[in-house]
Amino acid sequence: MKLLSTLAIFTSPLLADISLDPTFHFNGVIGDTSAESFSEIGGHAHDPNDNFAVQGLEPGMNLRVDDWLAGFTNINIFTDSNHEIDWELEEAFLKFKNLPGGFEVRGGRMLARMGLQNNQHLHTWTLINSNLTTSQFLGEEGLMSEGIELTWRKDFDRGFLAISSNFSNTASHHHRDDEGHGKDEHGHSPEDAFMEDNVFVSRLLLSYNWNDFHQNILGLNTAWGKNGYRRETSMHSIDYAYTWRENGIELGGREFSIGAEYFYR
């Protein structure tokens, strides 16, 4: 009996329901600006540029093992402000789901849950530009973390409540060596004001649907960490978004969304 039990433990992974699902998205855009340098605009790294630009060529892969383990990886290939091809690994993480008490744990490289947009990939943006708050408070490519995240979620009849907490260092972005970042005569860069090390991020998200056609989300966010000047930085925000969908939870149909967020640093 002991031998049979041992064999069952070793062979059970072979009987698991494992799936690998590739994903692929492409965003291209034509834009124009009167600014002499694209860096003067101070926008997101994937915002439209002069002439035609590849905002994102995004191959990805989803992993699922039964109902307890999931994984995701995503690469973004794009043209930078000099119209040269660049790339970065945006996410690569494993997630343990359906843990006791309504918890789940993620570990790896992740887009931190902070504000309305930061954890959304380019192809899911509502508009072709990023939210101004994302680039001005979280960095030209948002807040990308390498660490661990714990989430608790409670579902109810018309929505859910979720609290996520993330402790990490920010991921170093892949750039060409000759790409400038606007350093001043003292060798400082505006990017030094953004969080870099020992970053703690927490988000409370309340989703409430009046019915299948009217959806509301409210978020409260807070973050602490060291910036590029090696000084402590704290940041807090609140966000709200309303969405009306013609077909409700079904696919297709018209859609209207409006939202706002307030950041304080």
Kindly write down the DSSP assignment for every residue of 84-125, as one continuous string.
-EEEEEEEEEEEEEEETTTEEEEEEEEE---TTTTTS-GGG-
Dihedral sign from CA coordinates of 114, 258, 218, 245: negative
Q: Is residue 248, in this structure, part of any structural domain at all?
A: yes
pLDDT one-digit tens code per residue, 58-109: 999 999 999 999 999 999 999 887 788 999 999 999 999 999 999 999 999 9
Q: Is residue 78, in this structure, part of any structural domain at all?
A: yes
Q: Is residue 182, in this structure, part of any structural domain at all?
A: no
Q: Is residue 7, in this structure, part of any structural domain at all?
A: no
126/139 Cα distance (integer angstroms): 19
Q: Is residue 10, in this structure, part of any structural domain at all?
A: no
**Token pair 């008490």: residue:** 101
Tell me the whole-structure pTM to 2 decimals. 0.81
Range of the domain at 193: 15-175+189-264
- The total of structural domains in the chain comes to 1
Residue 130 has pLDDT above 80, yes or no: yes
Q: Is residue 5, in this structure, part of any structural domain at all?
A: no
Q: Is residue 151, in this structure, part of any structural domain at all?
A: yes
89/196 Cα distance (integer angstroms): 17
Q: Is residue 43, in this structure, part of any structural domain at all?
A: yes
Structural contact between residues 206 and 172, judged by C-beta atoms closer than 8 angstroms: no
Structural contact between residues 228 and 196, judged by C-beta atoms closer than 8 angstroms: yes
- Return the bridge partners of 75, or none: 89
Residue 117 has pLDDT above 50, yes or no: yes
